[in-house]
Amino acid sequence: MILEIVSPESKLFQGEVTSVTLPGVAGSFQILNHHAPIVATLKDGDIKIAATSFKLDKEVAGKFTKINEQTYTIAIDSGTIEMKDNKVIVLVD
């Protein structure tokens, strides 16, 4: 599936991922390939991204924490997520 993470300042990430775990206001949840359509609000916490390979732009690479070769996290204050047609768009503050 495709994941896009966008902040008011810039696009933080765009790429093919295997899963994304998000800090929802009602609790943490994970989205996998071909997940049902969903819209949800996010609270402060970490977004955990799993992919077979990562390509981070130099301008935003400092915002991400590397867990291992296939997993990165990024801290957010709040946001909104939409999953539709195997594409996840995350708007973050």
Give pLDDT, residue 70: 95
Tell the CATH topology of 2-92.
ATP Synthase; domain 1 (2.60.15)
Q: Would you list the domain boundaries of the chain? A: 2-92
pLDDT, position 88: 98
Note the pLDDT of residue 32. Answer: 96
Contacts of 75 (CB under 8 A, 6+ apart): 44, 45, 46, 63, 65
Task: Give dist(CA 67, CA 82) in Å, integer.
Answer: 25
- Per-residue model confidence (pLDDT) at position 5: 97
Burial class (CB in 10 A: 0-12, 13-18, 19+), 17: buried
pLDDT tens figures, 29-82: 999 999 999 999 999 999 999 999 888 989 999 999 999 999 999 999 999 999
Strands 19-24 and 2-6: unpaired
pTM over 0.75: yes
Name residues whose C-beta falls within 8 Å of residue 57's C-beta, 6 or more positions apart in sequence.
Answer: none
Gap between the Cα atoms of 83 and 58, Å rounded: 27
